[in-house]
Amino acid sequence: MSLTSAELHDKLKFYFGFSAFKGQQEEIILHLINGNDAFVLMPTGGGKSLCYQLPALLMDGTAVIISPLIALMKNQVDAIRGFVEGHDGIAHFLNSSLNKAQMQEVRDHLLAGNTKLLYVAPESLTKEENINLLRQVKISFYAVDEAHCISEWGHDFRPEYRRIQPIVKEIGKAPIIALTATATPKVQYDIQRNLGMLKAKVFKTSFNRPNLYYELRSKVNVDKEILKFIKANEGKSGIIYCLSRKKVEDVAEFLNINGIKALPYHAGLDANTRAANQDKFLMEQADVIVATITFGMGIDKPDVRFVIHHDIPKSLEGYYQETGRSGRDGGEGQCITFYSHKDIEKLEKFMHGKPVSEQEIGKQLLSETVAYAESNICRRRTLLNYFGEEYTQDNCGSCDNCLHPKKQFDGTEDLLTVLELVAEMKEQFKSDHIANILTGIHNSIIKSYNHHELPLFGIGKDKGVRYWTAIIRQAIVQHFMEKDIERYGVISCTKKGLEFLKNPYTVMLTEDREFAEVDDDEDAAVVASQRGGGGGDPVLLAMLKDLRHSMSKRINLPSYVIFQDSTLEDMTILYPVSLDDLKKCQGVGEGKARKFGKEFVELIARYVEENDIQRPDDFVIKTAVNKSLNKVYIIQNIDKRVPLDEIADAKGLEMDDILNELESIVSSGTKINIDYYIKQTVDEDKVDDIYSYFREEATSDSLQDASLELGRGYTEEEIRLVRIKFMSELGN
């Protein structure tokens, strides 16, 4: 079959209403129509579907389109039927969701030769009866969409995808077009080898998405930060990805309570709710969808303006795909990721129990993600480098690292050291091993290779493992060294690296970024108190601290008993001017507001007035009620004088959880009396000592300080119990 470019454009206009092809679509389509295999690598939103949809409509016979998601098939089939009016038989799907009658209908259309596109799930393709059916049909070509599912190195490996080639052979030969947005060289090779199309022409579009903005943030007060971000981007539509279903539910609820139209989406919801939520998002009845990664594959909403990762993804492929769902129309797309090393540890834990080879791959993919997150190099450059593409611009102008560049330093010497070491070792090793040698770490692997006897062992002790890891990473990005992904990331020098060793020149490098290590699951008050200096308005903060200080002298109470730092910081963000407003700040309950609040809100009111400050009065953060269910239960049982350990048992909590709850209860100003329990469990003299420590000596409520000051004889639990008593009696 042959078509001219003009004819092809006519067909494009006729079927899809577009007047021009995007990127390489035209070449790809012509290539396929002429009976050749094609391998298409295009970023998400690049327009891959059209590369098989249009030829399917034009060519003789039925195109078999293998696609992993059932929900997605229905969408695509509906879309095609929408394009080609009056031909219901033109597109069908074959998957496990069909009943007998529907199945028969598909069968009839297929055998009558009406069907141009048949979407098939890979597991349906492997069924004997379907193979037999398809053997009676003329196949125009096979399209393998989301082809990275073939590779274990892709982010979404599906074993059934591995069986495509033998089945295609059984049904009957026809050209194959494989399409994916995941294009590390390793995945690309896996796909081509597995589909037996190593010789296929590869169409690779640049993976750069110039309209996307990439940013990584410390995962501190994450829900609140997300809320702030959405409020600042009111009316725009966005996706928030979370790792667990529970988080999805929590975040969606939290946003709704705070006036954002957000819907949850995860595999645990029943199919109807899921479909309804997805539709509402597409139809713009909801601004935000909060989802696990099951959401979004093939979803075509062109104007998604932001993608937020509440939790770090497991791989850079996943990250790239998910962020890629923003700004498909070429407009704004902000990609914000919240990162904490704790999340990485969680992900590593999830891997335990999986087969060893899978764990190895998983760890390797994860370490790439860590490297990306912690690096100070341009995000775009790192991503493109990962996908085997060179990005030469110095400053992309649209990532956090380029907008806020870190100071560079002359890294020539250290780069030489690393290269020298790598070149010297006979075998190849991974990045962490090399960093460990330079830092002089004595571990079992190093000893087993006698690497502690290398002259360079410990030469960079003062700089630390993190530093050396960063140097190695930058050496890779700048192509002085390379990483063999297939061999689990072992590192070797490139030609450029070896030449640099002989004739060095100045190379500038940066250190890695530091991320605050706070878990978002912790109590908000605790989190904020660890945040340190995070307030909104430094001038006001200083004034509030002065007020607290003078008040503390006047009423003879430690400052922290009045309001904690985190509370003052909140005041500089929320600008409360009434006692009711004040209660919206962390750690302020009814009692505290009444007892200490008046002077604070008066000061703030004056400050707001004098400085003409716009108060964010609609920006009030509310938290879900059910979170406080435990609190209510605990308070009720304390009233009944139930021992705390029994309360813990009854609720399936640890003593630690109970103490956390109690601390948060008293620090927000509610009085509780746990004397009955203290009497039973803590020696009376000790109670006096601890109490007077907090009353007379302490300059903060820090547990560590208390423990140091009081010495060995006092357990953490004892100190905490008395501290709760103290805070409750004096502060509330």
Q: Which residues pair with 339 in a beta bridge?
A: 218
Which residues 401-440 are close enough to bind Zn ion by CB under 5 A?
Answer: 402
Binding mask 369-388 for Zn ion (x = CB under 5 A): ---------x-x--------
> Which of residues 211 and 707 has its CB atom nearest to ligand ADP in the complex?
211
Q: Is 48 in the site for Mg ion (CB under 5 A)?
A: yes
> Which of residues 178 and 621 has its CB atom nearest to ligand ADP in the complex?
178
> Which of residues 298 and 587 has its CB atom nearest to Mg ion in the complex?
298
Cβ contact 306:336 at 8 Å: yes
What is the spatial distance between Cα 69 and Cα 120, in angstroms, rounded to a whole number? 9
Q: Which residues pair with 142 in a beta bridge?
A: 64, 176
Instruction: Please choose, out of 225-233, 279-287, 389-397, 557-565, the segment that lies near Zn ion by the rule CB under 5 A.
Output: 389-397
Residue 399 binds: one of Zn ion, ligand ADP, Mg ion, none (C-beta under 5 to 8 A by kind) = Zn ion
Inter-CA distances, 166 with 40, 124, 201, Å: 21, 14, 21
Minimum Å gap between C-beta 454 and Zn ion is: 36
Minimum Å gap between C-beta 208 and ligand ADP is: 15
Minimum Å gap between C-beta 49 and ligand ADP is: 3
Tokens of 356: 């060893």
**H helix or E strand, kind and range, residue 119:** strand 117-120
Find the Cα–Cα–Cα–Cα dihedral 244, 246, 252, 255, rounded to 10°. Answer: -100
> Which of residues 48 and 217 has its CB atom nearest to ligand ADP in the complex?
48
Residue 378 binds: one of ligand ADP, Zn ion, Mg ion, none (C-beta under 5 to 8 A by kind) = Zn ion
Residue 238 binds: one of ligand ADP, Zn ion, Mg ion, none (C-beta under 5 to 8 A by kind) = none
Sequence-ordered list of residues with C-beta below 8 angstroms from that of 724, at least 6 positions apart, any chain: 659, 662, 663, 666, 672, 674
Minimum Å gap between C-beta 86 and Zn ion is: 49
Nearest-10 crossing angle of helices 716-726, 684-692: 60
Minimum Å gap between C-beta 16 and ligand ADP is: 7
3-class state of residue 288 by DSSP: strand
Residue 50 binds: one of ligand ADP, Zn ion, Mg ion, none (C-beta under 5 to 8 A by kind) = ligand ADP
By C-alpha distance, which of 403, 514, 419 is closest to 474? 419
Q: Which residues pair with 309 in a beta bridge?
A: 241, 337
What is the spatial distance between Cα 40 and Cα 178, in angstroms, rounded to a whole number? 6
> Which of residues 11 and 127 has its CB atom nearest to ligand ADP in the complex?
11
What is the spatial distance between Cα 515 and Cα 338, in angstroms, rounded to a whole number? 10
**One-character DSSP codes across 161-198:** GGGHHHHHHHH----EEEEES---HHHHHHHHHHTT-T
Minimum Å gap between C-beta 237 and ligand ADP is: 15
Among 373, 396, 528, 593, binds Zn ion (CB under 5 A): 396
**One-character DSSP codes across 31-98:** HHHTT--EEEE--TTS--HHHHHHHHHHSSSEEEEE-S-HHHHHHHHHHHHHHSTT-GGGEEEESTT-
Minimum Å gap between C-beta 29 and ligand ADP is: 10
Minimum Å gap between C-beta 384 and Zn ion is: 10
Minimum Å gap between C-beta 307 and Zn ion is: 17
Minimum Å gap between C-beta 145 and ligand ADP is: 7
Minimum Å gap between C-beta 47 and ligand ADP is: 3
Binding mask 125-144 for Zn ion (x = CB under 5 A): --------------------
3-class state of residue 212 by DSSP: strand
Q: What are phi and psi of 8, to 5 degrees?
A: -65, -40
Residue 47 binds: one of Zn ion, Mg ion, ligand ADP, none (C-beta under 5 to 8 A by kind) = ligand ADP
Minimum Å gap between C-beta 301 and ligand ADP is: 8
Minimum Å gap between C-beta 399 and Zn ion is: 3
Minimum Å gap between C-beta 344 and Zn ion is: 23
Q: For binding to ligand ADP (CB under 6 A), which residues are involved? A: 18, 21-22, 25, 42, 44-50, 300, 302, 328
| Residue position matching structure tokens 């003052």 | 568
Cβ contact 80:117 at 8 Å: yes
Minimum Å gap between C-beta 46 and ligand ADP is: 4
Cβ contact 90:81 at 8 Å: yes
What are the start-end ranges of the E strands in 384-520? Answer: 409-410, 429-430, 481-484, 490-493, 508-509
Which residues 320-379 are close enough to bind Zn ion by CB under 5 A?
Answer: 378
Residue 155 binds: one of Zn ion, Mg ion, ligand ADP, none (C-beta under 5 to 8 A by kind) = none
Cβ contact 412:474 at 8 Å: no
> Which of residues 399 and 604 has its CB atom nearest to Zn ion in the complex?
399
> Which of residues 52 and 480 has its CB atom nearest to ligand ADP in the complex?
52
Cα–Cα–Cα angle for 518, 232, 566, nearest 5°? 35
> Which of residues 298 and 333 has its CB atom nearest to Mg ion in the complex?
298
Residue 105 binds: one of Mg ion, Zn ion, ligand ADP, none (C-beta under 5 to 8 A by kind) = none
> Which of residues 21 and 339 has its CB atom nearest to ligand ADP in the complex?
21
Minimum Å gap between C-beta 42 and ligand ADP is: 5
Residue 572 binds: one of Mg ion, ligand ADP, Zn ion, none (C-beta under 5 to 8 A by kind) = none
Residue 402 binds: one of ligand ADP, Mg ion, Zn ion, none (C-beta under 5 to 8 A by kind) = Zn ion
Q: Which residues pair with 290 in a beta bridge?
A: 240, 264
Find the Cα–Cα–Cα–Cα dihedral 698, 702, 705, 706, rounded to 10°. Answer: 70
Which residues 298-327 are close enough to bind Mg ion by CB under 5 A?
Answer: 298
Other C-beta atoms lying within 10 Å of the C-beta of residue 420: 15
> Which of residues 256 and 294 has its CB atom nearest to ligand ADP in the complex?
294
> What is the widest separation between alpha-carbon atoms in the chain?
96
3-class state of residue 446 by DSSP: helix
Among 399, 493, 678, 727, binds Zn ion (CB under 5 A): 399
Residue 694 is classified by DSSP as I
Residue 380 binds: one of Zn ion, ligand ADP, Mg ion, none (C-beta under 5 to 8 A by kind) = Zn ion
Minimum Å gap between C-beta 322 and ligand ADP is: 12
> Which of residues 287 and 368 has its CB atom nearest to Zn ion in the complex?
368
Q: Which residues pair with 143 in a beta bridge?
A: 65, 177
Which residues 281-300 are close enough to bind Mg ion by CB under 5 A?
Answer: 298
By C-alpha distance, which of 314, 156, 153, 329 is closest to 241? 314
Which residue has its beta carbon closest to Mg ion? 48
> Which of residues 48 and 148 has its CB atom nearest to ligand ADP in the complex?
48
> Which of residues 75 and 258 has its CB atom nearest to ligand ADP in the complex?
75
> Which of residues 380 and 723 has its CB atom nearest to Zn ion in the complex?
380
Residue 310 binds: one of ligand ADP, Mg ion, Zn ion, none (C-beta under 5 to 8 A by kind) = none
Q: What are phi and psi of 334, to 5 degrees?
A: -95, 130
**One-character DSSP codes across 483-544:** EEGGGTTEEEE-HHHHHHHHS----EE-PPPP-----TTS-HHHHHHHH-S--S-HHHHHHH
> Which of residues 315 and 385 has its CB atom nearest to Zn ion in the complex?
385
> Which of residues 44 and 566 has its CB atom nearest to ligand ADP in the complex?
44
> Which of residues 50 and 384 has its CB atom nearest to Mg ion in the complex?
50
Which residues 211-240 are close enough to bind Zn ion by CB under 5 A?
Answer: none
User: Which residues sit at the interface with Zn ion, rule CB under 5 A?
Assistant: 378, 380, 396, 399, 402
Residues near Mg ion, by CB under 5 A: 48, 298
